[in-house]
């Protein structure tokens, strides 16, 4: 069986930056094992699979890391929408996806794509010392938990300088870890570590901003924020909190169009 595949760099104008995601359009679902094997072979943070829907949404969407299926992924959703708009002739102003996190909508205006995602505000909670040790830090300004740990450090440079022990972090945490600080040129910066899910460091993480946005909106007292994830590839997002939803705007560009054999 031959399947099309697209590799898209999300949350960036420039190829070779942002977060790469693979998108595999299907007519019907493969087995979970087949999709996980494809994701593992791609060895990207996420591979998105889309199938035409028969209900009130346009497509069904699922996301796989090289190790597991996950419940929410921002950059691969952006990549899936971009693929539909740019390469597969989807003509609407917005596209809707049925997912494990409910219905997600991506709208387009010019070359910008805006995702409508659920807000996942953190609840304040002490972070285990073992996680701090794995990250190589002694203390944090704030620690809380939603789906992922959220840790605020003193400044942007402290976030940039992190050099985690990923083997240790995988042993001591079942959750991914978001580390953030106020930015110098942006409202806030962040990095995202998820070795337990097969991704040591994710370059630009839309789902993390479902937690970062409500947190920083409260801290800074404003609903719209400019964010940058300061991984080695890096990427930018405009984030807006609207009650229990987070709207994330970014760009994408195509790296690869091909086919795979299974």
Question: Given a cut of 90, is residue 128 above it in pLDDT?
Answer: yes
Q: Report the Cα 44 to chain-centroid distance in Å.
A: 12
Gap between the Cα atoms of 237 and 124, Å rounded:
25
Q: What is the mean pLDDT of residues 44-66?
A: 95
The closest of 184, 236, 244, 233 to 210, measured between CA atoms, is 244
Q: What is the mean pLDDT of the chain?
A: 97
pTM over 0.95: no
State residue 178's pLDDT score. 98
The confidence score (pLDDT) of residue 57 equals: 96
* Per-residue model confidence (pLDDT) at position 69: 97
CB neighbour list of residue 23: distance below 8 Å, 6 or more residues apart: 5, 6, 7, 8, 47, 48, 50, 76, 79, 80, 83
Contact 158, 252 (CB under 8 A): no
Query: Which tens digits make up the pLDDT trace of 152-169?
Result: 999 999 999 999 999 999
Q: Residues with Cβ < 8 Å from 24, sequence gap 6 or more? A: 3, 4, 5, 6, 35, 38, 47, 48, 49, 50, 260
Residue 55 has pLDDT above 90, yes or no: no
Domain regions of the chain by residue span: 2-118+248-261, 123-242
For the cut 90, the answer to whether the pLDDT of residue 62 exceeds it is yes
* pLDDT recorded at residue 208: 97
Structure confidence at residue 123 (pLDDT):
98
Helix, strand, or coil (residue 109): strand
Query: What are the tens digits of pLDDT across the range 91-101?
Result: 999 999 999 99
Examine the pLDDT at 82 and tell me if it is beyond 90. yes
Q: Does residue 129 have a pLDDT over 90?
A: yes
Query: pLDDT tens digits, residue range 172-206?
Result: 999 999 999 999 999 999 999 999 999 999 999 99
| pLDDT at 244 > cutoff 90 | yes
Q: Does domain 2-118+248-261 have CATH number 3.40.630.10?
A: no
Report the catalytic residues: 46
Indicate the class that CATH gives domain 123-242: alpha beta
Dist. CA 122–CA 18, nearest whole Å = 25
**pLDDT tens digits, one per residue of 204-225:** 999 999 999 999 999 999 999 9
Length of the chain: 262
249 band by pLDDT with thresholds 50, 70 and 90 = very high
Q: Quick check: do 2-118+248-261 and 123-242 share a fold?
A: yes
Q: Is 54's pLDDT higher than 90?
A: no
């Amino acid at each position: 069986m031959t399947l099309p595949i697209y590799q898209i760099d999300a949350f960036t104008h420039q190829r070779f930056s942002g977060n790469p995601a693979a998108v595999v359009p299907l007519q019907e679902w493969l087995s979970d094992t087949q999709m996980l094997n494809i994701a593992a072979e791609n060895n990207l943070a996420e591979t998105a699979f889309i199938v035409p829907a028969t209900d009130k949404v346009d497509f069904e969407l699922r996301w796989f890391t090289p190790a597991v299926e996950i419940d929410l992924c921002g950059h691969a959703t952006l990549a899936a929408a971009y693929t539909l708009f740019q390469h597969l002739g989807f003509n609407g102003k917005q596209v809707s996806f049925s997912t494990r996190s409910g219905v997600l909508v991506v709208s387009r205006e010019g070359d910008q794509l805006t995702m409508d995602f659920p807000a996942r505000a953190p609840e304040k909670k002490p972070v285990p010392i073992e996680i701090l040790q794995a990250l190589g830090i002694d203390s944090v300004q704030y620690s809380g938990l939603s789906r992922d740990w959220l840790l605020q450090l003193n400044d942007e440079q402290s976030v940039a300088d992190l050099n985690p022990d990923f083997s240790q972090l995988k042993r001591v945490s079942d959750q991914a870890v978001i580390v953030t600080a106020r930015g110098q040129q942006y409202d806030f910066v962040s990095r995202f570590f998820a070795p337990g899910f097969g991704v040591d460091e994710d370059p630009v993480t839309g789902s993390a901003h479902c937690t970062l946005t409500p947190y920083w909106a409260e801290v800074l007292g404003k609903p719209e924020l400019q964010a940058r994830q300061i991984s080695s590839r890096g990427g930018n997002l405009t984030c807006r909190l609207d009650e229990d939803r987070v709207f994330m705007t970014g760009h994408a560009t195509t790296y690869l169009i091909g086919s795979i054999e299974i």
